[in-house]
Amino acid sequence: MEAAGYEKEVEVAVRVVQMACSLCQKVQESLVRSPPDLITSKDDRSPVTVADWGVQATVSWVLSQSFGSGNTSIVAEEDDQTLSSKDATVLLESVVNTVNSCLSEAPKYGFRAPEKELETCEVLEAIRSCNSTGGSKGRFWVLDPVDGTLGFVRGDQYAIALALIEDGEVILGILGCPNYPMKKEWLNYHQRYYRLMSNLSPPTFGSWHKGCVMYARKGSGKAWMQPLVHDVGELDLHNNARVVRVSSVSDPACATFCEPVEKANSSHSFTAGLAQSVGVRKQPLRVYSMVKYAAIARGDAEIFMKFARAGYKEKIWDHAAGVVIIQEAGGVVTDAGGRPLDFSKGIYLEGLDRGIIACSGALLHEKIIKAVDASWDSSNL
C-alpha cells in the first residue's frame, strides 16, 4: 500500500515536530543549569521530565486543532497520573507554562495559537486524550514525546518521534533529533564535549552544524532531512530539505554498528558477539533513542541490533517512526526471524522474533540473521 495523498498529514506532522524540538531545546538548556524541579521518576524508575509532558500536550493540541478532536486518535507514552498528584504542584505548573510558551509561538510554524493561554485542566486533558491503544483497524498517531529521556537529562542525544499508522501499517514517520551533529564523527562524543568544542571553535554563522528533522512517507521511495527552523518562512518542506539515503557499505569490516547505551533492556554481550562473528571490526556506536535509526537512514551507520532481556516488551512508539524512515531511505528493518515488525497488535510489538535488526542493505541484514540463528541457543536471552 502506497501512502499517496497524505500531503497535509506530512506538513502538519513535520511542523509540529519542529515546534516540539524547540520546546525540548529550551527545557534541556534549563536542565543543564538546574535539573531538580524539572525531573521526576515513573513507577519503573525511568526518568520523565517537563519536556515529555510538554511535548505530548503540545502535539496533542495541535493535531486536534488541525484534524479535529473527533478525528484524532493518539497512542503516546505518557499519562497525567503523576502530574495530577498533590505532590506535583510545581512540576505541573512548569508543564503548563512550558506548553503555553510553546503554543504562543505556533504562528511561526504555520499554526493558530490558542485565543488565550490553556488552563491547567486543558493541558492535562491534552495529555490524557492520548489514550488510544492502537490496533489493526483505523487510523492513529503514535508519539514518543522524548525518546531517550535519560540521554535528554544528561544533555546528550534524544529524539521526538511521531508516526501515523493506518490499519496496522506505518504510513508516515517523523523524527526530530535536536542534538544530531551534521559531521557524523561527532556522534561518538557526548554532547558536553560537543558544546565545549563549539564554544572554543564556533561553527560558521548560519551553517547547518547540528539538529534535524527526518521524515518519510510509506511508498514514496525517499526520506528527507531538514534543519531545525524557527520561522514558518523557513519551513517550505522540500526547499530547505535534502534527501537522505542509507550507506552503500556492504563489507562488515567497514560497517558501523550501533546499539542502545543502557544495558537494562538490551544485551551488549550478545550483540558484540554477533558483530564480531559477521566481521564487524569497529567499536560499537552507542547513542540514546531513535537517533540510531536516524544514523542508519542518513548513512552514518550501517547496523542496529537490539535483543531485549527476558520479560521486556518493545513498544510501538520506540520504533514506528524510525522504521519507515530507514525503509524509505533504502534500508531493511525486521525482527530476528526476518519478518516485518507488526504494529497492528496494540501498544506492544507482539510476536517479535527474538529481537530487532536494522541494516543499510540486504547483504548485511542476511549475514546478521544467519549469525543470530547460529548463536541464539547459547545467548541466555
Looking at residue 238, what is its pLDDT?
58
Q: Is 0.75 topped by the overall pTM?
A: yes
Q: What is the pLDDT of residue 274?
A: 86
Q: What is residue 10's predicted lDDT score, i.e. its pLDDT?
A: 96
- Tell me how crowded residue 238 is: count the other CB atoms within 10 A of its CB: 10
**Over residues 180-194, mean pLDDT:** 72
State pLDDT tens for residues 246-263.
Answer: 999 999 999 999 887 776
Provide the greatest CA pair distance for the chain: 61
pLDDT at 187: 77
* Whether residue 199 has pLDDT greater than 70: no
Q: Is the pLDDT of residue 353 over 70?
A: yes
Q: Give pLDDT tens digits for 113-145.
A: 999 999 999 999 999 999 999 999 999 999 999
Domains 7-244 and 252-378 share a fold: no
Q: Which of 49, 52, 156, 300 is catalytic?
A: 52
Per-residue pLDDT, 8? 95
pLDDT for residue 239 is more than 70:
no
Instruction: Give pLDDT tens digits for 86-100.
Output: 788 888 999 999 999
Give yes or no: 58 in active site. Answer: no
CA angle 298, 299, 303 (to 5 degrees): 110
Q: Judge whether 377 counts as a catalytic residue.
A: no
What cell does 150 get? Answer: 535519560
The pLDDT tens digits of the residues spanning 287-322 come to 889 999 999 999 999 999 998 877 889 999 999 999
Catalytic residue, chosen from 149, 256, 271, 334, is 149
C-alpha cell at 53: 509532558
**Which CATH number is 7-244 given?**
3.30.540.10
**β-strands 285-286, 257-259 pairing:** parallel
pLDDT attached to residue 200: 63
Distances (CA, A) of 213 to 30, 143, 228, 299, 358: 22, 15, 7, 15, 20
In degrees, rounded to 5, the angle at the alpha carbon of residue 132 between the alpha carbons of residues 127 and 138 is 135
Name the nearest CA neighbour of 293 among 283, 284, 280, 302: 302
* 77 annotated to bind ligand: yes
Q: Which residues contact 266 (CB under 8 A, 6 or more apart)?
A: 259, 260, 306, 307, 308, 309
| 44 against 241, higher pLDDT | 241
CATH number for 252-378 (one of 3.40.50.1980, 3.40.190.80, 3.40.718.10, 3.30.70.141): it is 3.40.190.80
Res. 85 pLDDT band, cuts 50 70 90:
confident
Q: Per-domain residue ranges for the chain?
A: 7-244, 252-378
The pLDDT of residue 1 is 40
377 annotated among ligand-binding-site residues: no
Tell me: the pLDDT tens digits for 216-225?
999 999 999 9
335 is in an annotated binding site: no
User: At CA 345, angle to CA 342 and CA 351, rounded to 5?
Assistant: 55
Between these two residues, 85 and 17, which has the higher pLDDT value?
A: 17
**What pLDDT is stored for residue 206 in this prediction?**
59
Q: Which residues, in sequence order, are bridge partners of residue 170? A: 165
